[in-house]
Amino acid sequence: MFDPNAYREAVSRLHASPETRRKIMNMQMTRRRGRGPLSAAAAAAILVLAMTTAAFAAFHPGIQEWFAQKWRSVTGQAIGETQAAAIHGLTQEVGESITVGDITVTLDSVTVGDHAVWALLRVNGLSSEDGAAYTFGDFTMEVDPAPKWTGAAGEEGWTIEEGVLTVLASCSACSASDVEGARFNDGSHTLHLTLTDLSVGKAPGCELLQAGTWEFSVPLTQAGASPAVTIDRVQLDGCTLTGIRVTATDVSYTADQETPPAAVKLSDGTVIESKTNCMRVEDGYHYTLVWPVPLDMEKVASLCFDGAEVPLS
């Protein structure tokens, strides 16, 4: 006989581990200091988009406009021509559309780096007023072959204007650059995007607008111009870093102990902190940090580690 009270009593004794509790509360503390949280969770990426308020000023922005706006919000400066050109070099125009019922989803373009990929999508056929809330049942963003460790995934931002919803989403890997096949832009990877069941309204009272699945598969091409700075070994105060590789989109390195996430300093003194940090522990602490906007590598001057600075010239 199943006894619900006994079951509830048994389940009430299940708790997240103290280590998990500490890490989650550290996410809060980390964010307060202005750095992104660390995650060692594994695997591919699924996210649920819940879009409730307008967030972007431009009308049907392209991927360059998204990055330009993000750069302004991070640095207070306009994006430069050479940086825009670098982003252009990392970006593939796709323009593939899939229609299910009245809803057409278009994969506009993707920007791909060593360990990060951004995808710009447009959703047409919405009849609701601007500012309405839309939710996809699932929004899966995966790279095939899957990296051994996948970092964060999520929407970067979105806007809805005159019935066209535009979403910038991204995902990242947490792989050492020296692992064969670890880089998204090595010409051997394919990006798979799957969106299902578009609803309008806020959960739990949302209404299914269009049932169905929109699936995209895009081979990620080798970036035309993706310079990298590499450093074999650096000794910091009480910590050794090896295999440092800095690119326009991210930095990866291995440390012999847990370290604060790196930021990058530009030649004009601007410090850029990563938007996502990923750490995995496997014969050392392997970090992959993704910049909020692809950088102009000509202007990257140094890496900063909580007071210590490593020149990248």
Q: Is 15 one of the binding residues for other proteins (CB under 8 A)?
A: yes
* Full strand arrangement of the beta sheet holding 300-305: 271-273, 263-266, 300-305, 308-311
In this complex, which beta carbon is closest to other proteins, that of residue 153 or of residue 251? 153
Among candidates 135, 105, 158, 99, which has minimal Cα distance to 209? Answer: 135
189-200/134-144 β-pairing:
antiparallel
Q: What angle do CA 82, 272, 71 make, to 5 degrees?
A: 50
38-39/276-281 β-pairing:
parallel
Residue 36, CA distances (Å) to 26, 104, 113, 194, 281 in order: 10, 34, 19, 27, 18
Supply the angle between the helices 81-90 and 63-75 in degrees, to the nearest 10.
130
Q: Is 33 one of the binding residues for other proteins (CB under 8 A)?
A: no
Q: Which residues in 163-202 contact other proteins (CB under 8 A)?
A: 202
Q: Is 52 one of the binding residues for other proteins (CB under 8 A)?
A: yes
Shortest spacing between CB 167 and other proteins, in angstroms: 13
Size of the site for other proteins (CB under 8 A): 53
Q: Which residues in 266-295 contact other proteins (CB under 8 A)?
A: 276
In this complex, which beta carbon is closest to other proteins, that of residue 53 or of residue 127? 53
Shortest spacing between CB 150 and other proteins, in angstroms: 8
Helix (H) or strand (E) holding 27: helix 18-32
Q: Which residues in 54-113 contact other proteins (CB under 8 A)?
A: none
Part in contact with other proteins (CB under 8 A); list of ranges 7-15, 75-83, 221-229, 252-260: 7-15
Residues binding other proteins (CB under 8 A): 1-4, 6-11, 13-17, 19-21, 23-25, 27-28, 31-32, 37, 39-48, 50, 52-53, 137-138, 140, 146, 148-150, 152, 154-155, 202-204, 276
